[in-house]
Amino acid sequence: MTEQTTQNHSATPRTALLLGPAFVAAIAYVDPGNVAANITAGAKYGYLLVWVLVAANIVAVMIQYQSAKLGVVTGRTLPQTLGSALPGRRTRLAFWAQAELVAAATDLAEIIGGAIALKLLFGLPLPLGGLIVGVVSMILLATADGRRQRQFETIIVGLLAVIVIGFLTGLVVNPPDVGGLLNGMIPRLQGSETVLLAASMLGATVMPHAVYMHSSLVIDRHGIDNDPGRIRTLLRATRYDVIIALAIAGTVNVALLVLAATSLYGRAGTDSIEGAHAAVSDALGPVVAALFAIGLLASGIASTSVGSYAGGAIMSGLLRRRIPMLVRRAITMIPALVVLLIGVEPTMALVVSQAVLSLGIPFALIPLRRFTADPKRMGEFADSWPLRWGSLAAAVVIVALNLVLIGLTISGALS
C-alpha cells in the first residue's frame, strides 16, 4: 500500500477533497472535436440534434462511473483488466491497436483544434500552431505523475473553467429560443448526414480513451485500498465527482450546439470552425468571438494532454509496457501535424475523427459492463440491475448506430 493511501485511510477526508479525477476525464468531453461536431450540427440543423447530446451525456455519466468504480474496487485499470482477460498476445496486440487508433483520432482532433484557435487569435499558420499546442501539452504532461497528480488536476480544472467561459459567453449575449430547445429534445433524424453528425457527436461525447483512462486516474489519485469502508467512501465521492464534472461538460456541449442554432443557423460558411468564428464575430461581436477562440485553445491544450495520459494507460495495461510520456507525446502529434501540412480541411478532419471515436466505443463499453457486473471481481460492489440494464441498452444503441454509420459510409463510397 502506498504512503498516500495509508494517509488517506487513516484520516477520512471530506468528500469534496476527493473530487478531481472526473474533471480530468471530463476534458475529453469538451475537446475541439466536440466544437466541430456540435457547431456543424447546430448551424446546419438548428436544434434538431440536442437530444443526441443529452442522451450521450447521460450514457457518459454511467460509463465513467463504471470505469472509476472498477479502479477503486479492484485497484486495477480497465486496460490492465482487459490485458489479463484477453487470450493470447496477438489478441492483446489487436485490441491495443484499435485502442491506439482511437487515441490517435482523439489527438488529431485536439491538435488541429488548438492550431485553428491560434490561427484565429494570432494568425499563425496551422502547422506552426499545431506544433505549439504539442509542445505546450508536453510541458503540462510533466505534471502528470503520481506525485503531482493534484497539481495536474488543478491545471486541468483551470483550463476547464476557461473553456466554460469561452463557450458560454455567446449564449449570455444572445439567449436561445426555449421552444426550439425543447423541441430539440424529441429524438429524430433527417437523412444520412444527420446520422454521421449524430455518430460524431456521440463519439465526441462518449470518448473511449476517457473510459480507459478514468480507472487509472482514480488509482493515481487515491491509491489502492481493500478496506470496504474506504471503498464506499471513495465510491460516494466518485459519484459526486462524475455527476458534477460531466454536468459541466454536458452543459458546454449543449451550449455549443445551441449557440450555433441560435446565432449561426442558415448563415453561409458556418460548416467550418473558422467560418463559425467569423459568423460569431459578425453576429455577437469581436469580444465574444475572441473568447470563443480562447476557449477552443484551452480545449485543445487540455484535451491533448489528457489524451496522451490515456494513451500511456492503455499501452501499460494491455501490453505491460510503458514509454516516457513526453516521448509518447512527441510521437502521437506527428499524424496531426502531417494532416495540417498537407492541407486537409481541418473542420472536416475533426468531424471524421469523432466518427472514428464512435466506432471504438463498444470495444471499451462492452468489456467494462461485463467486468463491473461480475460479483467474483467486484464483490458486494458489483453493478446493480438498473446499471446493468442501462449499460446494456447504451451498448446496443451505440453498436446499432455504428453499424448504420458504416453502411452509409460504404454506400457513399460506392455511389
Q: Can you spell out the DSSP letters for 189-255?
A: --SHHHHHHHHHHHHHHS-HHHHHHHHHHHHHHH-----HHHHHHHHHHHHHHHHHHHHHHHHHHHH
What string of DSSP letters covers 43-111?
Answer: HHHTTTTHHHHHHHHHHHHHHHHHHHHHHHHHS--HHHHHHHHS-SHHHHHHHHHHHHHHHHHHHHHHH
- Taking Cα atoms as reference points, which of 397, 304, 411, 400 lies closest to residue 350? 304
Q: What is the pLDDT along the chain (415 residues), one digit of tens a residue?
A: 333 443 344 334 567 778 889 999 999 888 887 887 888 889 889 999 999 999 989 989 999 999 999 999 999 999 999 999 998 889 999 999 988 888 777 788 789 889 999 999 999 999 999 999 999 988 888 776 555 667 888 888 899 999 999 999 999 888 998 998 999 999 998 887 888 788 777 766 778 888 999 999 999 888 888 899 999 999 999 999 999 999 999 999 999 999 999 988 877 777 678 888 988 898 899 999 999 999 999 999 998 888 888 888 899 999 888 888 778 888 888 888 998 898 888 877 776 776 777 778 889 989 999 999 999 999 999 999 999 999 889 888 877 877 776 676 666 656 6
| Domains of the chain listed by start with CATH number | 3-9+18-414 (1.20.1740.10)
Cβ neighbours of residue 103 closer than 8 Å, sequence gap 6 or more: 209, 307, 310, 311, 314, 332
Pull the grid cell for residue 59. Answer: 450514457
Give the integer Cα–Cα distance in Å for 262 and 264.
6
Alpha helices in 285-345 (DSSP H): 286-319, 325-332, 334-342
pTM: 0.87
End-to-end CA distance of the chain: 60
What residues have CB less than 8 Å from 63, skipping those under 6 apart? 206, 211, 364, 365, 368, 391, 394
**Cβ(141)–Cβ(325) below 8 Å:** yes
Rg (CA), the chain: 20
CA dist 401 and 53 (Å) reads 14
